[in-house]
Each structure stands twice: as structure tokens, then as C-alpha cells.
Structure 1
Amino acid sequence: MLQAIMSCLSLIRVRMQQGRPTDVVTLVERAEKGASRAATLTHRLLAFGRQQTLEPRLVSLDAIAHDMEDMIRRVVGSGINLELKLGDGTWLVLCDPNQMESALVNLCVNARDAMPDGGWLTISTSEVILTDAEVAGFDDAQPGRYCCIAVSDTGTGMSPKIMEHAFEPFFTTKPSGQGVGLGLSQIYGFVRQSGGIVQMETALGKGTTVRLCLPASVQKEDMQDEHKDPAKTIVLVEDEEIVREVTAEQLREQGYRVLEADSGAAALRLLHAGARFDLLISDVALPGTINGRQVAEPVRQRYPAMPVILVTGYAPGDALSDMEVIRKPFAPEVLADRVRAKLEQLRTDAD
């Protein structure tokens, strides 16, 4: 991919020296295509390495599968019989819903490809209690209650040797040009980064089942009963006046008390003045010499348990890898869910 980009740039230089600028447009388009492919590859590798930027929300795996049924039917085609066996689980999981939807589609595409002559594709959900033995092979995974979504097919299945390599990047059994071997590895990285585990059952000629299990986070009833937390105070740091005012209004409608600051310096003045608050939300790019991270660091130094959410309009990269990040633009419910989760974690840690 880099070779394609470098070759195009080299030819652009030559064409400009030759006085042939009209030929440059095609070369630029080719270089952009190569860069786009490289960006996609990088994103998939980051997913496998559990380094991608996720935007987790409290979601129902049952609801995700149900909402995607029509799309999946179109993806797999009329030659595949699709069956949904969904529960009405009482637990929600904390994960990036877009990544979960992408994972589900990828699993269904793999299942379709494993059934070239047709067959049955089943999507099921369940809530299980995983033991120490069942999570032993996964670093950092804890035993306990999990919500699972499984994709099963009646296709060709895999041999034990192939199964050992199924989640490795670039491993694929498909012919050249029909797969790069990053689909399962990307799913594996996303699930592990979300605190979950991946289980696979397969045998040659007997089909395959891939099960994604994520820690159960909160019960639906608790979400309804504890939707608001009026006792909590939030410091909101945002220099764009309209964004700050609207965001503050949304938070106040959730029952929170909001202290507003239009710069990093103003936020630190609140801190030094002894203002008491329970959560800091700050934009990363702020006017002046103090950015959002530089606001968060002294807050954490004074109050180590203080939850912090940073908001940015661009990919945070390594500089924000240890911070909770929400990307702009975001829906109001995304911020509400993240604030609720942060304050709930604070309450749990205090107990």
C-alpha cells in the first residue's frame, strides 16, 4: 500500500516537471485510494491490538440483533435460512454499539461464505454465568454474569488446526483476493477490549458457532429507576458558547447541577477556588495555553478518584489513550449514558 502511494507521489513530481499537470489528477486519486486502504488496514490492526478508540454505551444485545435482522437477511441472501432465537434479557452491556453491529455482520458474512450451497444461519442471545475455568485462557477476564450473542451456521466448519489460527491477523482460508483475514481478528480485539471473551465451536462438515460474551453491566430495571442522579455536580469546559449551553441544558434535564467554564484557565480557577464537583467534562481543544488534558491532570492529582470525560472532534491517538473520550459530534444519549456509567462506577468504588 505504501509502495502504491509513494509511486504515485513520485510520478506526480515527474509529471509536474514535464509540464503535464492534467495527468496529476488521476495519480492523486490513486494515491488517495491507497491511503484509504492503508487507513482501513490500520484501523483493523488497532482493533485486533485492542487500541482502537471505542465509544461504549449501555446497550441490549437482544435489541441490536433484532434491529439488524432485515439488513442481515439482505447480506446473506435468499439462499440462506435465517433464524433468530433472542431472549428478553434483563441485563445490558457496556460496549460500542457500532462495533458490535459490525462484528455481527462480519460473523454472518463468514457464515454465509461457509455455506455456498445454502443452509441455516442462527443468531441467538443468552445470559450466562462463566466460571474461572471458562475465562482462564483470557487475560483480565473475570468470572461472573455475561451477556452473549452467538452466530451459528450449518456450513463446512473448520479443522482443529485451522481453528487454532482463526483469530490471527491475515490468516484466511479464502482464495486470494476474496479475504484479507482481518474480520475475525478485528472482532476478537473489539470484544477483548470491551472486557469480554470469544468462544468458538466448530468441526469439519458440522458447521461453526462463534459466541461473543460481554460482562453484564446493569439491569434494565436499574436504568429506569436510577435514570437521574440529582445530587451530582458536573464541571463542563467548552469554549464554543452554543455547544456549552446546549450540553449544559441537556445535563440539567438529567437532574445534574452544572458549573460552566469557557476555557481551561476558567476551569482551573473553579478548582483552585474550592468548587466541589463529582465529574469533569472537558473539550480537548481549548483557547489559550491550557487544553483539556491539562485541565484533567491537576483535577486528577487533587482528586484521584474523580471521573473525567474528554470530548474531541478528532481521533485522540496515544496522547489520550488513558482517558475516557467521546468524539464529536455525539448524540445527547451518548453523553448521558457515559455520564451515568462514570458516576455509577464512582459510587461502586466508594462502596
Structure 2
Amino acid sequence: MATASPPLTPPDLRTADRPILWGVLAIGLVTALLLLWLLGDLVAAGIFIALFCSTVGLVVLYASRRSTSYTVSAPADIGLMSAAINDSGDAVAITDRAGRLICASRVYGEWFPGLPSPPGLAIADNGDERLAQIGRAAWRDGSASLDGLASGRGRLSATVMRAGLSEDHLVWRLRRMEGNDLTHQARRLVEGDGGVRLGAAGVMAAIVDGGGRIVSANRVFLQRALGDGNGDGTGQVLAHLLDDSRDLIRFHSEGANATPLRVIQVPLDDGIGESPTLFLLLDDAAALRPAVEAASGHIEALLAMLPLGLALAERDGRILFMNEAFRRAAGLPPGQPVLYPSDLVVKEDKAAVADAVRRFAAGQRMSGDIAVRLRYRADEPVALTIAGARGLGEAAALLSLKDNSEESRLKNQVAQATKMQAVGQLAGGVAHDFNNILTAIIGHCDLMLLRHRPGESDYDDIQQIRQNSNRAAGLTRQLLAFSRQQTLRPQILQLPDVISEISNLIKRLMGEQVKLIVKHGRNLGQVRADPGQLEQVIVNLAVNARDAMPGGGTLTIQTYAVSAAEVRRLNSDILPVADYTALSVSDTGTGIPPELLGKIFEPFFTTKEVGKGTGLGLSTVYGIVKQSGGFIFADSKPGDGTSFVIYLPVHRADPVTDAPPVPTKKPKQGELWGTGTILLVEDEDMVRAVAERALTRQGYKVLTAANGEEALEVLEAMAAEDGEVIDLLVSDVVMPTMDGPTLVRHAREKFPQLPILFMSGYAEEQLRRSIDLDRVAFLAKPFSVQQLAEAARDALVQNKG
């Protein structure tokens, strides 16, 4: 218990002494008058009275300083408060309104030597300021609390409460926070059956906090150190229980002739201030060496069970033992021998690691961290903890390495997914803008071809421009496929039928040196996919396989059924449990290195020479498969070839959605001429000009608008007239200010039966999900003059039908 005296008040003269003082002064005055009467000398009388008054003043001042007591009795309830808080296991302190310490518990004095008054405690991370904040909150609200204070005694929680008869005191209570960390697990191990088993093996175990005080210990340690196996060693300083004179460690309670001890220090780093340490103590007498060696086996078994990667090294640095967690954290291949810690790191870090191990093994009892790059996982630096240990046998150093592979893998996956999403959005936007440009180029080429005949010099040039534009359109489709925004027209189909359609094409692409083998399994379920896009997937994989076999080889395309039970046995975190039809494309080529296998689906990533690949092949395959609801996996080893497996979910027939469409009468292929009035809305001037000329040449009357507001004005003007009406609205989907769907909703308020033809460079399926409108047709950009005429004709025919 610690108490602080209350403030002292200045002394004052007692009221009872004042008459005596006045009497003494009166006697002095009378004596001065008598001297004046007897001597008749006024100067002598004045000197006498001055000396008399001075003497009386000095006497009074001396008496007041000597007799007046400065002590002020403490409040009546201080003793009660001290007795109440002294038995608490928490650190308790009481302060007055001025912030002075009035009373403190014994634990508070042990935790904070010198009895500083809260909030002036030595706590890291601005702990004093945080304590001051809850103190002010307690004066205002009556109570306040705070968790997570980092100190040398672990993580603390603080509670402050206003108390007292006049509520002019604060009661501060600080306690340790128990967490699900390595220290807590070690305490459970030492205090439970693990501590009993260690004791049976002759191993004494104790956990010591950052201040050197015992937190927990097994019964064997308590019996040897305190003489009582059921005693309480909590709070005692470990160094006070041990005698390390003459470089030998013994228990004080056993005397100078006791058996020496060996000590192993295992840091339990919880990241809070000074880390707690697990101390393992064993007898080190030569007569007990067989028992010590047996205990060494138990220690290694114990270290093998801990989730932290641990290894023991002798004085010259040779590794004696490492647990499996240490091997995983170091990234060691199975069966790879390691003789020295320097064998684990890259060449640049070998000298630093070897020097650190020798320094700590030479007798230093403290631990330290060193940042290194591992030999088998050199992508990022890790922290290697080295601690000196008076361990078992030849062990002199303890090495600790945490396995961050899973955490790093998850971080890389999140970063990769974020990067792919950003690139996909960029690719979709770029493809949309390119589609507008290509629409204008292809449209103008078509219009120019109508005025030229084959054989003319300009005709061939125009055809070349059109072909290059179509190639560029194919590139934009690849970008949209990667970003999963291309227009798919899925059908219910069987994978063997798709493969048979393109088998001859694949044979021609493979050449004479590559042998093609096609195998089909039984009971294959139907899948729902776009046959054209699926053919592109197979051709891309086949071409990549051919390039991986420059000297020839075998390409195997196989289909087989995968049941839900088989998927469940795969125990995949990515593949949902369902029935699938799988497509496997395997080759016997050179294979893909492991460091590149995770990057093959990234856009613009290629291992081919400059000019021989765009890096969009596999990213396009990935986008088509994912947009079709499937999954694709790659497995490869250098020299053993590569295998791509695509899982497409089996389609279950729906009598409503899968019903055959009602046949409608369609005009002949060459009947593109039409009549009627079309309102064309397009914000791109070049696309609007091409579309207007193309529709006008087919016989339509075309009204144009550059945006949605202008189109509504045209519709209102048409509604005011009784004669002419709009037969078809052709509009872009994405436009500034007012987009196409918003325009259509306003237009159908006055024209409910108005047919709509949307033009867009984005995916039709994506637009249909986001546009809740009926009687709407879509035309994907880029389109030719003929495709625009056919789309307009079909939209008008369906509306009339």
C-alpha cells in the first residue's frame, strides 16, 4: 500500500495566545514611561521601547515556528480505502481533483515504481494522453474506460470512476488483458497437462513477462524454486530465485551445492512492448546426462507441436533440429537437407546470418531480429529471430521463423483481382470507344464500295481498309472478352458437336508434326454457351499448344463428365459443388515455369517474341469461360507439357426458357429496302453520319438527334403533327446527359408501341440485365451498312407481327 499526504495549510497564531501578547506589550510600554520619568531622557526611553518590541517580536516568531504543527489529519476513510484496494489483483490508484495521488494499491506500486500519478504513466503509443482523455471523461460523465494500452507488462485495460462523498476523487483501475495469442496458449500449456508432462520428463517451465516477473509456472518449477509445488510464484522476479555465480545457474532455495541448471529461452513475441519469454530449465549434472538427453527428446517433441517455426543450432551455428512449421516458413523442398542457417538465405545475406547466430550462441541471453531474403522464397524479405539459449546438449541458439506464405498468397490474390478488375474496366472502355471509330470506318467503306466496282484500283484499296478494320474489330472483341463484356449468344449444345465442327481446322493449324487425338466421354451433360466463342477458346488453346511443341508432339482434346460427388472430393475452394462437363486440352510441349503459371491469364502477358503475340489469347479464353459461367484451370510442369481443363456447368432444361421460339415470318435475305420514318439518336457525329446515309439509301426517312434531349424535342414536334409518326427509334445506349434507356422511357409515355433498336459497343446480355424494357432489339458495334439495314428491317417486321 502507498499513501500520499493531503495538502498542508499555512500556520496561524492561536486565538488563546493573543491576550498574553497584548499584556507583554503593555508591560513594556509602562517600563518605558517609568524610565522617561526617572531619567528624564526621551532618547533613552525610545531606545528601550524599540529594543523591547524587537525582542518580543523575535520571541513570538520563534515560538510560532517551533510550536505550531503542520500536520493535517488524513480523511477518516483513507485506511478503509487502502484496505479495500490493497487485496485487489489489479493496479488501483485514487487521485483528487488536482490530480494528486491519494492512495494506491500494492500492485500499482509494483507495476509503476515511484508511484507516478495517472495519467503520467510510462505507457507507449501516447498512452499518457489517452489516459488523460478518459480522466477528463470520467470527471464529466462519472466513468470511462480504455482498452489496448501497450506496456512492459502486456496489454492493459483502464477503468476510471468518479467517487467520494463529494465525488471529488477518481478511482483508476488497470488490469491485464487476456488474448488468444501465443502467450496465452503457452500459459495454458504450462499450467495444464503439458506442464505435467514436462515435469514428468524433468523439465521445469516458467513464463516470464517483459519485466522479468513470473506469470505462470508448472508444479516442478514451483517445487524446486519455492519448496512448495502448490505455491504461488506469480509476480516474483525470476532472477531473484536463481543464482548465476561462477557462470552456473542454480536455485537459491537449494544452496550453492545444488545441481546446476540449463536454461532455454523461447521468446513469445506478441508484438506488445517487451515480449514475454518461456523459460525451460533442466538439470545439467554429468550424472544426470542420460535423463537430460531423454528430456531433450521431449523438448524437441514440444517444439514440433508449436505453431511457430522453431529450430535449434549449436555454438558453431550447425542446425540440430527444426520443426515442420520452420521448414514450411523457409520454403524448403521436401527432403532438402540444411546444415547451417546461412543455407536458408540468399547469397547476400549469408554472412550476416552466420555472424548473428555465432554472436547469440556465444552466450548472449537476449534475442534479436534480422531481415533476410530466403533462398527458396526470395520474393519478399522476412524476419528471422535468433535468441541465445542454454539449451539441451549442444543447443546454444534458438531460431524462429514465421510462416507468412498463406497471408502473402491472400494478399497477392486480392492485389491481382483488383488489378484485373481495373484493367478489365479500362479494356471495356477502350473497346467501346474503338467500336465507335471502327463503325464509322467500316460504314464509310461500305458506302464507298457501293460506288465502285470490282477491278477498279480504288475498290481494292477500300477492301483492304475494310479488312484491316475488321481485324481491329476482332481485337476489340478480344478486349471485351477479357473484360467479360462481349456479346454472347448462348445456345444449348453438346461439347463433342462443337469440337467436331472445328476438328478439320485444328488439324490444318497443327501441321504434320503434331498428332491430334480427340476423346469423348459418356453421359455428357448439355451446356449453355456461345458456340462461336467456344470454338475460339478451343482454337486459342490449340494454337498455344502447337507453339509449345516446336519439334512436334501430341495434342489431346478430351471431354468427360464430372459429377458433384467428384467435385466434392476435389475439395476446391474455387469450384462450386455441381455437375459439370469438362473439356481438357493437353500437349506434350515444353511446359510453363512455375513462376509464370500464375500470370498466364493476365492481359498482354506473353512469352513469345516481339511481334508474334498480343498477350490477349489466354486472357480472352479466361473471359469467355467466366462469362459462360464456367471455370478454367492450368496445370504444367517444365518438360512434361501443359493441360488446360475447362469446367462448364451442366444445363438443366427449363420448360419455359428453353421452349422453342414461335416461328415468325422473316423477309428474304436480299429484301433490305424499307419504308417509314426512323429517328436516329447518336452522340458520335461520325457514327451518326454513316448510319443516316446507310438508312436513307434503303428508302427510310431519317431524322437525327445528337442527344436524348434533342430527340425528345423531335418526338414532341412529331406528336403535335397529326400526320407523320415515328416508325422506329434507333439510339445509342451510352450518351452524355441522358442515356438511351432514359430516352426510351420518356418516348414511350407518348408512343407506347414505338419499337426500339439500341446500338452499343457493350455486351448485349449485360445491357439486357440493366435495361428493363420490352420490344427492344440490339445491334453490336462495330456494324456494317448491311447489318444496320437488316437490324432496322427485323425490328420493324417484329413490331408489325
Shorter-chain TM-score range: 0.5 to 0.7
State the AA in 2 paired with 1:57: Q
Shift of the 210–290 alpha-carbon distance from structure 1 to 2, 3 Å rule, reads closer
Shift of the 43–228 alpha-carbon distance from structure 1 to 2, 3 Å rule, reads closer
Q: Which residue does 1:322 correspond to in 2?
A: 767
Q: Which residue does 1:341 correspond to in 2?
A: none
1:287 is the counterpart of 2:731: no
Q: Which residue does 1:136 correspond to in 2?
A: 573
Shift of the 76–319 alpha-carbon distance from structure 1 to 2, 3 Å rule, reads closer
Q: Which residue does 1:306 correspond to in 2?
A: none
Shift of the 29–98 alpha-carbon distance from structure 1 to 2, 3 Å rule, reads closer
Shift of the 118–25 alpha-carbon distance from structure 1 to 2, 3 Å rule, reads same
Q: Which residue does 2:619 correspond to in 1?
A: 185
Q: Which residue does 2:391 correspond to in 1?
A: none
Q: Which residue does 1:169 correspond to in 2?
A: 603
Alignment of 1:146-157 (within 5 A): 146-157=580-591
Check whether the contact 1:151–1:211 (CA below 8 A) recurs between aligned residues.
yes
State the AA in 2 paired with 1:45: L
In 2: Cα distance, 1:290 partner to 1:185 partner: 31
1:101 is the counterpart of 2:546: no
Shift of the 228–320 alpha-carbon distance from structure 1 to 2, 3 Å rule, reads closer
Q: 1:67 Cα shift?
A: 2.8
State the AA in 1 paired with 2:519: K
Q: Which residue does 1:246 correspond to in 2?
A: 665
Deviations 1:91-142 (A, max 9, x none): 11111000001110111111111111111110000111334976534xxx64
Q: 1:74 Cα shift?
A: 1.2
In 2: Cα distance, 1:190 partner to 1:174 partner: 22
Alignment of 1:205-216 (within 5 A): 205-216=639-650
2:498 aligns to what SS in structure 1? helix
2:536 aligns to what SS in structure 1? helix
In 2: Cα distance, 1:157 partner to 1:321 partner: 37
In 2: Cα distance, 1:88 partner to 1:286 partner: 52
Check whether the contact 2:635–2:643 (CA below 8 A) recurs between aligned residues.
yes
In 2: Cα distance, 1:30 partner to 1:104 partner: 29
1:159 is the counterpart of 2:593: yes
Alignment of 1:184-203 (within 5 A): 184-203=618-637
Shift of the 101–297 alpha-carbon distance from structure 1 to 2, 3 Å rule, reads farther
Check whether the contact 2:522–2:561 (CA below 8 A) recurs between aligned residues.
no
Q: Which has the larger radius of gyration?
A: 2
In 2: Cα distance, 1:227 partner to 1:101 partner: 25
Check whether the contact 1:155–1:207 (CA below 8 A) recurs between aligned residues.
yes
Shift of the 209–245 alpha-carbon distance from structure 1 to 2, 3 Å rule, reads closer
2:579 aligns to what SS in structure 1? strand
1:72 is the counterpart of 2:506: yes
Shift of the 55–289 alpha-carbon distance from structure 1 to 2, 3 Å rule, reads closer
Alignment of 1:1-351 (within 5 A): 35-129=469-563, 130-131=567-568, 136-137=573-574, 142-218=576-652, 245-246=664-665, 287=728, 315=760, 317=762, 321-323=766-768
TM-score (norm 1): 0.57
Shift of the 88–176 alpha-carbon distance from structure 1 to 2, 3 Å rule, reads same
Check whether the contact 2:496–2:559 (CA below 8 A) recurs between aligned residues.
yes
Shift of the 191–326 alpha-carbon distance from structure 1 to 2, 3 Å rule, reads farther
Check whether the contact 1:62–1:88 (CA below 8 A) recurs between aligned residues.
no
2:526 aligns to what SS in structure 1? strand
Q: 1:27 Cα shift?
A: 9.1
Q: 1:161 Cα shift?
A: 1.1
- Which structure has more relative contact order (CA 8 Å, sep 6+)? It is 1
1:246 aligns to what SS in structure 2? coil
Shift of the 28–72 alpha-carbon distance from structure 1 to 2, 3 Å rule, reads closer
Shift of the 67–245 alpha-carbon distance from structure 1 to 2, 3 Å rule, reads closer
In 1: Cα distance, 2:507 partner to 2:526 partner: 25
Q: Which residue does 1:18 correspond to in 2?
A: none
In 2: Cα distance, 1:91 partner to 1:297 partner: 41
Deviations 1:282-332 (A, max 9, x none): xxx96269999689979xxxxxxxxxxx99695563787331677698xxx
Deviations 1:33-81 (A, max 9, x none): 6654543322111101111110000111122113322221111111111
Check whether the contact 2:729–2:757 (CA below 8 A) recurs between aligned residues.
no
Check whether the contact 2:728–2:757 (CA below 8 A) recurs between aligned residues.
no
In 2: Cα distance, 1:145 partner to 1:38 partner: 38
Shift of the 27–74 alpha-carbon distance from structure 1 to 2, 3 Å rule, reads closer
Shift of the 34–127 alpha-carbon distance from structure 1 to 2, 3 Å rule, reads same
Q: Which residue does 1:259 correspond to in 2?
A: none
In 2: Cα distance, 1:187 partner to 1:71 partner: 18
In 2: Cα distance, 1:172 partner to 1:70 partner: 27
2:640 aligns to what SS in structure 1? coil
In 2: Cα distance, 1:311 partner to 1:90 partner: 40
Q: Which residue does 1:250 correspond to in 2?
A: none
Q: 1:88 Cα shift?
A: 3.6
Check whether the contact 1:146–1:214 (CA below 8 A) recurs between aligned residues.
yes
1:149 aligns to what SS in structure 2? strand
Check whether the contact 1:135–1:197 (CA below 8 A) recurs between aligned residues.
no
In 2: Cα distance, 1:216 partner to 1:326 partner: 28
Identity of paired residues, percent?
35
In 2: Cα distance, 1:61 partner to 1:199 partner: 18
In 2: Cα distance, 1:86 partner to 1:185 partner: 26
2:645 aligns to what SS in structure 1? strand
In 1: Cα distance, 2:744 partner to 2:571 partner: 38
2:603 aligns to what SS in structure 1? coil
Check whether the contact 1:128–1:147 (CA below 8 A) recurs between aligned residues.
yes
Check whether the contact 1:115–1:156 (CA below 8 A) recurs between aligned residues.
yes
TM-score (norm 2): 0.27
Question: RMSD of the TM alignment (CA)?
Answer: 4.4
State the AA in 1 paired with 2:621: I
Check whether the contact 1:55–1:326 (CA below 8 A) recurs between aligned residues.
no
Structure 2 unaligned residues grouped into runs of 5+: 1-429, 442-456, 667-725, 733-739, 747-754, 770-776, 781-786, 788-801
Shift of the 319–164 alpha-carbon distance from structure 1 to 2, 3 Å rule, reads closer
Shift of the 296–25 alpha-carbon distance from structure 1 to 2, 3 Å rule, reads closer
